[in-house]
């Protein structure tokens, strides 16, 4: 895509900017604009307030039942310590190994779920016959909680890795498929009619109407599904795992070292957020038309 | 604005320009005979169109006027091949589109539809939208189609918006691009379903001028559904007034205001008389429709 930084904008005689900034200049303009609104400051204040409350409960007042939980200062000290007391910090290899293992599992599971779920959903939305064959079974399997699949997964797959990936794939597959199907069904009938008028074959309609028309829903689905994938991955790692952030949390709890447990949780928050942002960026990149139309409405 | 005169030498079809009323050499004569369409949602028969007949000559601008929800769109859907018909027949230049033994017409690029709410693909730029038809019909290569699309958009006065998405331009621009997308396929008939419905009066008048200019250039047969009477008389050669549901032909009014028409035609004596004539017929149907209070059909 065109991401050339246009540092010079044409201005008229009154010094008013005449051309819209693009690429890097646009990002810079938006950052500057947002700093003039109260939003970033309120967000910062909000985070600080919650952190303060957390500190107050655990370390400030040392309330009953909260005194066993490591407070923000204890966690931060450990997290940034080159010689962590309880074994996990930014400077230990183990920490990154756990992140790496979980991320690799997510990548495989999410990739599989997207690769199977999107085409499945597209065909289900597009062909009534295909939907009749597949939808009932999907609807019955979908409500089964992912934890209920754990024993079956362990029986079916050998080792530690495969069952965990299977569970995460399964959970995110349902979300992706359902959203994609709804996406196809949400496409206005007149686009199909217009495509028909213009002389499209079925394959043309699939490529030019079904796929792009469903994309906004697909990416909403993918954002939810990557969250669900993390959720079920951690659950699976807790039950039958070896390494990974979920394993780290349970393992720390079992060994009565509570600080790595909290570090694992916060790390999951950040990594999950990061993957979700990645999905959004890819989505926006693929749907320039959608982003631009929303921008016109001031969103 | 594109201020080309009606006799401008620019043409998008290779067909020579002929004087109006002479019939277009490209064809496009529509003949609707005893058309009946019965819907049966949930077992209840609803008659949308009942024994409707009309003749539309090649190269004619034919305006269909009637109260909202009367079944005008059903008529259009039958011609375009979106819906089946119950009985009767429709012919295009003598060839059967749909009729006995063939309830649903095939969709084809000889009849291009411009939709009520606009149906430019929002995920394609204006130029990509226009180039789409010739590409999927394999009439042109991708680059040929793109060149032609850009050329035709420029001709319609929106050349600088070629690479914009429909969501980024005004509804008037989008509508114009949609008509260009239809015309690039050199259709015999252009089917328009209240295309300017949601526009303000000022935009509408600009759209009308541009449509007339396009018509004078291409002489394509136009089947135009509206319930704006002024629009109907200003644009049309003939105004067909249809009854409230079930829809059938009530009255045909010939508009003999000479072309090219400009907005000054609106204040002429002739225009006012026609307006009264049409208004009287339509009002009667509108009252009936209102009293029946039926929900509009899709």
Please write the tens of the pLDDT for every residue from A240-275. 778 889 999 998 888 888 889 999 999 999 999 999
For B136, the closest of A204, A213, A215 (CB atoms) is A204
Could you tell me which chain A residue has the CA closest to the CA of B190?
A197
Task: Render pLDDT for A4-27 as a digit per residue (tens, 0 to 9).
Answer: 444 445 566 666 666 667 778 888
CB-based contact B123 A213, cutoff 8 Å: yes
Residue (of B212, B276, B278) closest to B240 by Cα position: B278
Q: Does B124 touch chain A (CB under 8 A)?
A: yes
Q: Hey, what are A202's tokens?
A: 């079925």
Note the Cα A57 to chain centre separation in Å: 30
Task: For Cα atoms B218, B223, B227, give the angle at the middle one, nearest 5 degrees.
Answer: 125
- Phi, then psi, of A294 in degrees rounded to 5: -65, -40
- Phi, then psi, of A188 in degrees rounded to 5: -60, 130
For B107, the closest of A197, A204, A212 (CB atoms) is A197
What's the per-residue H, E or C state across B219-263? Answer: CCEEEEEECCHHHHHHHCCEEEEECCCCECEEEEEECCCCCCCCH
Domain with CATH 3.40.50.300 in chain B: 28-110+188-277+288-298
Q: How near does any CA of chain B get to the CA of A1, in Å?
A: 14
For B121, the closest of A191, A196, A199 (CB atoms) is A191
Place of tokens 């064809």: B27
For B113, the closest of A193, A287, A290 (CB atoms) is A193
Q: Does B177 touch chain A (CB under 8 A)?
A: no
Q: How near does any CA of chain B get to the CA of A269, in Å?
A: 34
CATH for the stretch B28-110+188-277+288-298: 3.40.50.300
Tell me what the pLDDT averaged over chain B comes to. 80
CB-based contact A209 B137, cutoff 8 Å: no
Q: Hey, what are A209's tokens?
A: 């109407």
Name the burial class of residue B258, with classes exposed (0-12), middle (13-18) and buried (19+) by CB atoms within 10 angstroms of its CB.
exposed
> CB of B63 within 8 A of CB of B240?
yes
Q: Hey, what are B236's tokens?
A: 């049309």
Task: Render pLDDT for A130-169 as a digit per residue (tens, 0 to 9).
Answer: 999 999 999 999 999 988 998 899 899 988 889 999 999 9
Query: Does position B19 have pLDDT exceeding 70, yes or no?
Result: no
Q: Does B257 touch chain A (CB under 8 A)?
A: no
CATH for the stretch A93-296: 1.10.3720.10
Task: Render pLDDT for B191-243 as a digit per residue (tens, 0 to 9).
Answer: 998 888 878 888 888 888 888 888 888 888 899 998 888 888 888 888 888 88
For residues A230 and B46, give the distance between their C-alpha atoms in angstroms, rounded to a whole number. Answer: 53
3-class secondary-structure state, position B114:
strand
The 8-class DSSP code of residue A56 comes to I
CB-based contact B136 A290, cutoff 8 Å: no
Write down the ipTM of this complex.
Answer: 0.82
Please state, as a whole number, how many other Cβ atoms lie within 10 Å of the Cβ of residue A239.
18
The predicted structure's pLDDT at residue B25: 55
Query: Does position B16 have pLDDT exceeding 70, yes or no?
Result: no
**DSSP annotation string for A9-47:** PPB-TT--B-S---HHHHHHHHHHHHHTSSHHHHHHHHH
How many residue contacts between A and B have a Cβ separation below 8 Å?
79
pLDDT average, residue stretch A49-53: 94
For residues A227 and A274, give the distance between their C-alpha atoms in angstroms, rounded to a whole number. Answer: 11
The predicted structure's pLDDT at residue B7: 42
The 8-class DSSP code of residue B48 comes to E
CB-based contact A196 B133, cutoff 8 Å: no
Q: Hey, what are B39's tokens?
A: 């819907």
């Amino acid at each position: 895509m065109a991401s050339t930084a246009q540092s010079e904008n044409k201005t008229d005689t009154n010094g008013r900017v005449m051309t819209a900034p693009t690429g890097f200049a646009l990002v810079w303009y938006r950052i500057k604009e947002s700093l003039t609104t109260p939003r970033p400051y309120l967000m910062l204040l909000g985070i600080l307030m919650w952190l303060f409350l957390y500190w107050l409960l655990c370390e400030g007042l040392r309330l009953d039942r909260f005194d066993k939980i490591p407070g923000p200062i204890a966690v931060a000290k450990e997290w940034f310590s080159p010689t962590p007391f309880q074994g996990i910090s930014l400077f230990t290899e183990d920490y990154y190994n756990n992140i790496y293992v979980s991320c690799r599992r997510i990548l495989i599971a999410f990739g599989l779920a997207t690769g199977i779920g999107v085409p499945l959903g597209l065909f289900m939305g597009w062909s009534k016959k295909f939907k009749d064959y597949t939808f009932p079974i999907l609807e019955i399997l979908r409500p089964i909680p992912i934890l209920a699949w754990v024993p079956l997964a362990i029986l079916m797959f050998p080792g530690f890795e495969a069952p965990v990936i299977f569970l995460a794939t399964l959970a995110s597959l349902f979300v992706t498929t359902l959203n994609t199907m709804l996406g196809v069904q949400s496409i206005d009938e007149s686009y199909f009619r217009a495509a028909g008028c213009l002389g499209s074959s079925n394959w043309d309609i699939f490529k030019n109407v079904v796929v792009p028309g469903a994309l906004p829903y697909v990416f909403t689905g993918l954002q939810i599904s990557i969250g669900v994938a993390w959720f079920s991955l951690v659950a699976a790692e807790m039950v039958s795992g070896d390494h990974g952030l979920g394993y780290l949390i349970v393992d720390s709890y079992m060994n009565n070292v509570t600080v790595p447990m909290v570090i694992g949780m916060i790390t999951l928050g950040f990594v999950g957020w990061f993957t979700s942002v990645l999905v959004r960026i890819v989505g926006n990149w693929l749907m320039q038309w959608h982003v631009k139309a929303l921008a016109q409405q001031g969103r | 604005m594109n201020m080309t005169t009606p006799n401008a030498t620019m043409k998008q079809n290779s067909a020579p320009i002929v004087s109006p009323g002479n019939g277009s050499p490209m064809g496009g004569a529509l003949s609707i005979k005893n058309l009946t369409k019965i819907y049966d949602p949930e077992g209840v028969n609803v008659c949308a169109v009942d024994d409707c007949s009309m003749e539309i000559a090649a190269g004619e601008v034919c305006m269909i006027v009637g109260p909202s929800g009367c079944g005008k769109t059903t008529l259009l859907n039958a011609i375009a091949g979106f819906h089946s018909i119950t009985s009767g027949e429709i012919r295009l230049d003598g060839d059967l589109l749909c009729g006995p033994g063939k309830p649903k017409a095939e969709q084809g690029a000889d009849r291009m539809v411009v939709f009520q709410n606009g149906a430019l693909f929002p995920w394609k730029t204006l130029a990509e939208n226009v180039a789409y038809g010739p590409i999927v019909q394999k009439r042109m290569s991708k680059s040929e189609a793109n060149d032609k699309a850009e050329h035709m958009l420029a001709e319609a006065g929106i050349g600088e918006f070629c690479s914009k998405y429909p969501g980024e331009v005004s509804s008037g621009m989008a509508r114009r691009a949609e008509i260009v997308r239809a015309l690039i396929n050199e259709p015999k008939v252009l089917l328009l379903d209240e295309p300017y419905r949601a526009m303000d009066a000022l935009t509408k008048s600009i759209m009308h001028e541009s449509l007339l200019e396009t018509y004078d250039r291409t002489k394509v047969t136009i089947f135009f559904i509206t319930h704006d009477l002024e629009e109907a008389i200003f644009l049309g050669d003939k105004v067909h007034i249809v009854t409230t549901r079930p829809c059938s032909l009530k009255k045909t009014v010939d508009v003999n205001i000479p072309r090219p028409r400009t907005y000054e035609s609106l204040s002429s004596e002739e225009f006012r008389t026609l307006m009264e004539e049409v208004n009287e017929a339509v009002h009667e149907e509108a009252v009936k429709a209102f009293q029946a209070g039926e929900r509009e059909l899709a």
